[in-house]
């Protein structure tokens, strides 16, 4: 079986009258008389995620459906809201007509050849790394005619890392019988583990953020006093969504893969066209993009270093339930990131509830030059041994001219706000305030 021979049904017939269902919910529809849709648990630009259950056994799964046709565009841009409506209606029409042409695909074939097919690439890269306890297991891949591809995965009733950080205050307010520091380290070390596992198999996620990390958590569990830091009985994380993952160990500058709050600076701007960055980073150590114009001189940077940066932001999410900055772009010396890189490496300790030791560790992660960032084995060792709560808050150097506008955003925000247009009055209204080193 090859991908070119995937069974496809005839083109979708003309629309037929649909039963009254203004939201086009799939709840109650069946798949091959074995699975039943329970409720929608997620939606994105390109697909839907539903909770489904096995009709005979009652086993529950997360079913991710990705459309095989291009997204709806408006003036060259993707209209996310219109896309979601289009996808929901299209899937409803398909199942209302009887869901013809549902065929299970061979997972080995998808893993081997799927990267050549646009709507199977994400699944193929996911399958390459799925034999790990910190990657969500794929149980089946179903071809839904010409409409979509469905991936049947583990279901996590406790939800994702974002909801557990913000809504459940998992790390900030654990029960008295659980050690807050060990709980944080349990999560952090598993994140390092899974990134190491993916890198060893030539896959780089490029979109590490709390929504892409699922959680199993036992609030009643009391870990042994001398037990290992990683304890799946207490907490287990599982990585999802390989839609932006790549297999190249280098990536072109300003590739812009992921959410701006998490992206490393080299994925946001072209380092080689910024005189300021070139004064701080020796660009000769990085290869130039093949066929790049002399004007741009675009450089290639290690992909793994960008994912290590993402881990650093995630660690702040876990310990503080905050983001350090809206975007890692040096375009104004009065924003948090510009201050951090150009003036004061202790600025994070001014605006976040972190101590000196953790601040120094973050300094080794958030290096502007990707080659200077901590490697994964070093990062693992430092996280395992650091004490987040044992020293005094760092005392930053006084600087009468330093003013930082700090929105103190929850992590992650729902929108990519143009923070450079925000005023001190905006932050005061939102409760963030204005911090000064004076």
Written in H, E and C, the secondary structure of the chain is CCHHHCCCCCCCCCCCCCCCCCCCCCCCCEECCCEEEEEEEEECCCEEEEEEEECCCCCEEEEEEEECCCCCEECCEECHHHHHHHHHHHHHHHHHCCCCCEEECCHHHHHHHHHHCCCCHHHHHHHHCCCCCCECCEEEEEEECCCEEEEEEECCCCCEHHHHHHCCCCCCCCCCCCCHHHHHHHHHHHHHHHHHHHHHCCCECCCCCHHHEEEEECCCCCCCCCCCCCCCCCEEEEECCCCCCECCCEEECCCCCCCCCCCCHHHCCCHHHCHHHHHHCCHHHCCECCCCCCCCCCEEEEHHHHHHHHHHHHHHHHHHCCCCCCCCCCCCCCCHHHHHHHCCCCHHHHHCCCCHHHHHHHHHHCCCCHHHCCCHHHHHHHHHHCCCCCCCCCCCCCCCCCEEECCCCCCCCCCCCCHHHCCHHHHHHHCCCEEECC
User: 180 and 111, same structural domain?
Assistant: no
User: 145 and 180, same structural domain?
Assistant: no
User: Is 343 domain-assigned?
Assistant: yes
User: Is 7 domain-assigned?
Assistant: no
Q: How many domains does the chain have?
A: 2
Structural domain of residue 232, as residue ranges?
158-395+407-414
User: Cα 258–264–268 angle (5° rounding)?
Assistant: 70
Q: What CATH number is associated with residue 343?
A: 1.10.510.10
**What is the pLDDT, as a whole number, of residue 389?**
85
User: 218 and 147, same structural domain?
Assistant: no
User: Is 425 domain-assigned?
Assistant: no
Of 370, 208, 363, the C-alpha closest to 285 is 370
220: its two tokens: 């009643």
Q: What CATH number is associated with residue 44?
A: 3.30.200.20
User: 336 and 238, same structural domain?
Assistant: yes
User: Is 228 domain-assigned?
Assistant: yes
Question: Which of 121, 154, 187 represents a domain boundary (last residue)?
Answer: 154
User: 180 and 99, same structural domain?
Assistant: no
Backbone angles phi, psi at 63, to 5 degrees: -110, 115
Question: Which of 128, 154, 180 represents a domain boundary (last residue)?
Answer: 154
User: 272 and 175, same structural domain?
Assistant: yes
Say how far apart CA 177 and CA 165 lie, in whole Å.
19
User: Is 426 domain-assigned?
Assistant: no
Buried b (16+ CB within 10 A) or exposed e, 9-26: eeeeeeeeeeeeeeebeb
CA distances from 288 to 150, 248, 270, 285 (A): 39, 15, 11, 10
User: 268 and 208, same structural domain?
Assistant: yes
- Do the beta carbons of residue 9 and residue 30 sit within 8 Å? no
User: 205 and 144, same structural domain?
Assistant: no
User: 341 and 246, same structural domain?
Assistant: yes
User: 210 and 140, same structural domain?
Assistant: no
121 annotated to bind ligand: no
User: 251 and 130, same structural domain?
Assistant: no
pLDDT tens series, the chain, 438 aa: 444 434 433 343 333 345 556 688 899 999 988 999 999 998 877 789 999 999 999 999 999 999 887 665 555 566 777 888 888 888 898 889 888 888 999 999 999 999 888 889 999 999 999 999 999 999 999 999 888 999 999 999 999 999 999 999 999 999 999 999 999 999 999 999 999 999 999 999 999 999 999 999 999 999 999 999 999 999 999 999 999 999 999 998 878 888 889 999 999 988 888 889 999 999 999 998 876 554 467 889 999 999 999 999 999 999 999 999 999 998 755 588 999 999 899 999 889 999 989 999 999 999 999 999 999 999 999 999 999 987 654 444 444 344 444 444 444 433 333 333 333 343 334 333 323 222
User: Is 22 domain-assigned?
Assistant: no
Question: Which of 154, 179, 196 represents a domain boundary (last residue)?
Answer: 154
- Do the beta carbons of residue 382 and residue 404 sit within 8 Å? no
User: Is 378 domain-assigned?
Assistant: yes
User: 188 and 75, same structural domain?
Assistant: no
User: Is 10 domain-assigned?
Assistant: no
Long-range contacts of 119-126 (CB under 8 A, 24+ apart): 119/66, 119/67, 119/68, 119/149, 120/3, 120/149, 122/66, 122/241, 122/242, 122/243, 122/245, 123/149, 123/151, 123/242, 125/203, 125/242, 125/245, 125/247, 126/151, 126/242, 126/245
């Amino acid at each position: 079986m090859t991908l070119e021979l995937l069974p496809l049904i005839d083109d979708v017939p003309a629309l037929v009258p649909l039963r009254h269902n203004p939201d086009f919910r799939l709840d109650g529809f069946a798949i091959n008389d074995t699975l039943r849709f329970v409720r929608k648990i997620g939606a994105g630009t390109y697909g839907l995620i539903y909770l489904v259950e096995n009709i005979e056994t009652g086993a529950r799964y997360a079913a991710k459906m990705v459309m095989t046709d291009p997204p709806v565009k408006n003036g060259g841009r993707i209209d996310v809201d219109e896309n979601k409506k289009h996808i929901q209606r299209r899937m409803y029409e398909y199942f209302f007509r009887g869901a013809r042409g549902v065929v299970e695909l061979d997972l080995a074939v998808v893993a081997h050849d799927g990267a050549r097919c646009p709507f199977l690439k994400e699944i193929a890269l996911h399958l390459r790394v799925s034999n790990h306890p910190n990657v969500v297991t794929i149980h089946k891949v179903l071809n839904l005619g010409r409409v979509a591809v469905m991936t049947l995965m583990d279901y996590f009733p406790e939800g994702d890392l974002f909801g557990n950080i913000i809504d459940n205050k998992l790390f900030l307010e654990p029960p008295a019988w659980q050690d807050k520091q060990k709980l944080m380290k349990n999560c952090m070390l598993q994140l390092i583990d899974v990134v190491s596992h993916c890198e060893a198999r030539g896959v780089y996620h490029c979109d590490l953020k709390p929504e892409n990390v699922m959680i199993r958590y036992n609030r009643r569990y009391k870990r042994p006093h001398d037990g290992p830091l990683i304890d799946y009985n207490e907490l287990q994380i599982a990585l999802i969504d390989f839609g932006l993952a790549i297999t190249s160990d280098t990536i072109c500058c300003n590739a812009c893969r992921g959410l701006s709050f998490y992206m490393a600076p080299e994925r946001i701007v072209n380092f080689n066209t910024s005189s300021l960055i070139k004064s701080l980073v020796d660009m000769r150590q990085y290869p130039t993009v093949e066929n790049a114009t002399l004007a741009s001189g675009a450089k290639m940077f290690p992909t793994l270093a960008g994912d290590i940066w993402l881990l650093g932001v995630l660690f702040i999410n876990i310990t503080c339930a905050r983001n350090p900055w809206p975007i890692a772009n040096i375009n104004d010396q009065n924003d948090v990131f510009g201050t951090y890189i150009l003036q004061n490496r202790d600025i994070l300790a001014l605006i976040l509830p972190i101590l000196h030791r953790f601040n120094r560790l973050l300094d080794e992660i958030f290096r502007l030059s990707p080659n200077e960032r901590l490697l994964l084995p070093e990062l693992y060792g430092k996280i395992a041994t650091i004490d987040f709560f044992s020293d005094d808050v760092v005392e930053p150097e006084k600087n009468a001219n330093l003013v930082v506008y700090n929105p103190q955003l929850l992590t992650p925000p729902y929108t990519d706000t143009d923070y450079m247009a925000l005023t001190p009055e905006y932050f005061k209204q939102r409760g963030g305030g204005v911090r000064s080193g004076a």
